[in-house]
A and B are shown apart, each in its own frame.
Chain A
């Protein structure tokens, strides 16, 4: 009888643990949606509304879309975003990348940019990722101040090489994406 009791208690505890984890996970995800995702959706929806209803969308379609619809154009965008002085300014919160991504998304949806360029474009708009956050990120990794002193320029210079290289890799990987559709 005692053995059975212990078994029941153990099962109960295990199930309780799983249910508790799931419940807490649900609470976390709703919290994330309300705090992080919905506000940004509202912001993005406003921007999309403005660019589609005013002439800004047409302006972008004429000037930016041809650039984003070719490999050399995407390389130009990635090189500009990777310039070591600009990249830390473009980085914070990935707000610039999110806005430019949305603008390009609108153009893809409108047919001004072929859909297979979505993949290289994702890398072209984002070589500055985390460039604003290097000292904090290194501090989270318990780096010494001397490492930060070298690490910040090292990452920034590295992006000048890896930014455009990532676009080329993504471009190669985009062959066959949405082909014949």
Chain B
């Protein structure tokens, strides 16, 4: 009985002993380098000044094919490096509304690929990279190659994400604008039942009081629709 309990306790403590060993390995292996590297990069950012990338932001919003690499490569990468997660997303303010989702997608996708070389950009999520890199290190292999490749594949991926998301956003904005035109026609038909043979036939709240219906209508539709219509047409 005592023996079983003893063995059980030993196994139980063993879990944490193994964890502790891993912890010491991480602290002595990674933290010293990390602190010095973080200090260097933080100092560099302070000396450069983050407001320098504002200019890239202003150029990146322009239309035209040649501004794509600026918008989804040259803007998000330095933004993530200098402003770090999550302030890098504020650079979206320079872009037209229809490009903001794509810029966000592009910038947020870079907060991990940058970690191999510049862990200051997103230290709270370091283990997305480090979890796998530690395993490679355990095999006695250098992780520098992995870090560099993670970085440049990350650059390719954020550019692709920006372009694909911009296309999808434009399709959705177009569909939304088209959908609104339809609802406008339906609305007109409802307001003047004589103009359309379907008008008023299958309305859910067929009370018969025209005045009531008109009063009801704004509440029945999602808020803010009429106001945003011109903005979205322009975006599509």
Contacts and interface: CB of A to CB of B under 8 A. Distances in A.
Contacts of A142: 90, 92-93
B86 A133 contact: yes
Given A130-B104, A143-B92, A155-B105, 16 more contacts: A29-B35, A37-B126, A47-B19, A49-B15, A94-B128, A98-B127, A98-B128, A101-B132, A102-B134, A122-B128, A130-B108, A137-B92, A150-B101, A159-B105, A162-B160, A169-B153
B111 A151 contact: no
B53 to A, nearest CB: 14
B38 A33 contact: yes
Q: Pick the 8 closest A-B CB pairs, nearest first.
A: A141-B92, A49-B19, A151-B101, A130-B108, A105-B135, A29-B38, A101-B131, A109-B138
A5 interface: no
Interface in A138-179: 138, 140-147, 150-155, 157-159, 161-162, 165-166, 169-170, 173-174, 177-178
A126 B92 contact: no
B45 to A, nearest CB: 8
16 contacts: A25-B41, A29-B38, A44-B131, A49-B16, A110-B135, A115-B135, A119-B153, A122-B150, A125-B128, A134-B101, A141-B95, A147-B97, A154-B169, A165-B157, A169-B156, A173-B149
Interface stretch (B20-28, B187-195, B197-205, B206-214): B20-28
B141 interface: yes
A77 to B, nearest CB: 13
Given A49-B18, A140-B87, A158-B165, A169 B157 contact: yes
Contacts, number: 286
B18 A121 contact: no
Contact of A178 (B101, B120, B145, B152): B145
Interface residues of A, number: 88
Contact of A158 (B20, B47, B150, B164): B164
A25 B165 CA distance: 36
A46 interface: yes
B112 A140 contact: no
A107 B138 CA distance: 10
Given A36-B124, A146-B228, A151 B169 contact: yes
A78 B193 CA distance: 52
Contact of A41 (B26, B86, B146, B173): B26
B5 interface: no
Interface residues of B, number: 89
Interface in A85-122: 93-94, 97-111, 113, 115, 118-119, 121-122
B224 to A, nearest CB: 7
Nearest to B170: A154
Contacts of B176: 150
A170 B228 CA distance: 40
Contacts of B100: 138, 141, 143, 147, 151
Contacts of A170: 149, 153, 157
Contacts of B123: 32-33, 36-37
Contact of B120 (A32, A134, A137, A153): A32
